[in-house]
Structure 1
């Protein structure tokens, strides 16, 4: 059964430099490679879900520049519906990424056109209402996130929020979130506790379901009914972790929308992330549904 996923969020062009060791303040280091890859947490999650088998609708904004054209074309090539992706008279958002030899990354995001996604425009709610899941992140204005979350709640759509970048969240957003998916660092900031299990308990006071991703240690799920599920990661040699979190969320939402039980959905999401970190780039590293199935079959 094909599930429909709406994504309301950011679209960026990722400007990625690969280095042996990331530079410290005031330091210049040589780079090994440089790539421009369409990304942004919204677009990344849209592509991840589409490659995993969902019918995906992207709602957001790009600029009137070559980056905007390339972002739109990349989404379309991944079968993402871009009828909700508007073009605005400013530069597209960019993410300036440094990836070290261990696959770790540091990122500076310049919002650009994403700053205009501060609410719903005509047609947005219809795109959200026709979906089973709505994926949100925090690379657009909070007012836009809050408006989309409220539209999801009004229309009975499962609202999934990735709280990145991690900042304190208002009640008008959290009251409409069904599933929160932070990484362990974001969970610690939001919960005020670095222990994942205590953070999980604290976050469940705010939303009905939580998945905390733990990097190489897997993921931890909980809900208000007391269910707890822990799924280990798949050990691989990472070359670029930029897309791991967004791949996880896109695959997870697709699997849950198709009716998978939580443990299986988490396992598939972990497999998708494991495949992605073995490749360079964000959207370019995301696996297809068949690649995820084949990867799981070998483990």
Structure 2
């Protein structure tokens, strides 16, 4: 659950500021990407866990209401995961994540491998324990399922996970953490030593796509006035997975995903800001 505070300017260390609004919004990177993909027209199944607290049923309902199959969503004793998010008037944010029930997903449960095998793509993030992420990636590779990894929260990645990743989608900060390279082009080239395809998201500057044996491609972002950028990356990845699954060439898929992300940043909240397919199509066409 995202606990979102809206402030004119984010507080510095030791500083107290007055906020203008507070919201609780279903979120988490896995939930966000699942809802983004479902609203973009994908058929989506979620594997993960919520707690047996008051947030658990709300999180489950948010997924189901967006058309996500929650048969693989476990209920674990204790609290659900939460993210404390501060959003300033420029749309920027800072986030603290407390894993809660996410920390119990250390492997696949009965039925999970079958769910992965039936998919066209497996979206992975790093808000689960690494053991759980690796278990999912191994199952995907065993069944020829494309693995799309968002390496967030940023951390060094095991060589095995990189070897099991088909498409890596970091933002600029995450790419620098993984490679030590601040310039996105150099970071992308370094990442191609480990994975076959990379998309580095560049915020308002768009995204950079690089693949082994091909020239890099930069796709611009949609020009908008941002209200809240919290879920922009997750919206982008969810829409990109759907576009790729439909067979769109990567430049066209990236532009379609950018249109989806552009809509999301014009609205407050995470999952609540994500557009439906018709909205994405209209924005991409316009």
TM-score where L is the length of structure 2: 0.99
Q: State how far apart, in whole Å, the 2-side matches of 1:86 and 1:172 are.
A: 26
Q: How does 1:207-226 map to 2 (within 5 A)?
A: 207-226=195-214
Q: Corresponding residue for 2:96?
A: 108
1:180 to 159, 168, 187: 168
Distance 2:134 2:284 in 1: 36
Q: Which residue of 2 aligns with 1:5?
A: none
Cα distance, 1:208 vs. partner? 0.5
Query: What is the DSSP-based 3-state SS (H/G/I as helix, E as strand, rest coil) of the residue aligned with 1:275?
Result: helix
Q: What's 2:158 paired with? A: 170
Find 2:60's aligned residue among 63, 72, 91: 72
Supply the distance in 2 between the matched residues of 1:227 and 1:255 (Cα, whole angstroms).
21
Alignment of 1:131 onto 2:137: no
The aligned residue for residue 9 of structure 1 is none
Cα shift at 1:90 = 1.0
* TM-superposed deviation, 1:20: 0.2
Measure how far apart 1:66 and its partner are.
Answer: 1.4
In the alignment, what sits opposite 2:80? Answer: 92
Q: 1:228 aligns with which of 191, 216, 241?
A: 216
Is 1:241 matched with 2:229?
yes
Backbone CA RMSD of aligned residues: 0.6
Shift of the alpha carbon at 1:297? 2.2
Q: Which runs of 5+ in 2 are unaligned?
A: none
Question: Where does structure 1 lack aligned partners over 5 or more consecutive residues?
Answer: 1-12
Structure 2 distance, partners of 1:41, 1:116, is: 16
- Indicate the residue corresponding to 2:245 in structure 1: 257
Structure 2 CA distance for aligned equivalents of residues 157 and 142 of structure 1 = 19
Secondary structure in 2 aligned to 1:55? coil
Q: Tell me what 1:266 maps to.
A: 254
Cα displacement (A) at 1:229: 1.3
- Picking from 13, 18, 22, the partner of 1:34 is 22
Partner-residue secondary structure (3-state), 2:26: strand
2 CA distance for matches of 1:121 and 1:225? 38
Please state which structure has a larger fraction of its residues in strand: 1
Inter-partner Cα distance in structure 1 for 2:135 and 2:162:
12
Shift >3 Å, 4+ stretches = none
CA distance in 1, matches of 2:113, 2:202: 33
Counterpart in 2 of 1:17? 5
Q: Distance in 2 between matches of 1:168 and 1:139?
A: 14
Give TM-score scaled by structure 1 length: 0.95
Structure 1 match to 2:268: 280
**What residue in structure 2 maps to residue 83 of structure 1?**
71
In 1, the alpha carbon distance for the partners of 2:107 and 2:162 equals 16
- 3-state secondary structure, aligned to 2:44: strand
Q: 1:82 Cα shift? A: 0.2
Could you say what secondary structure the match of 1:87 adopts? strand
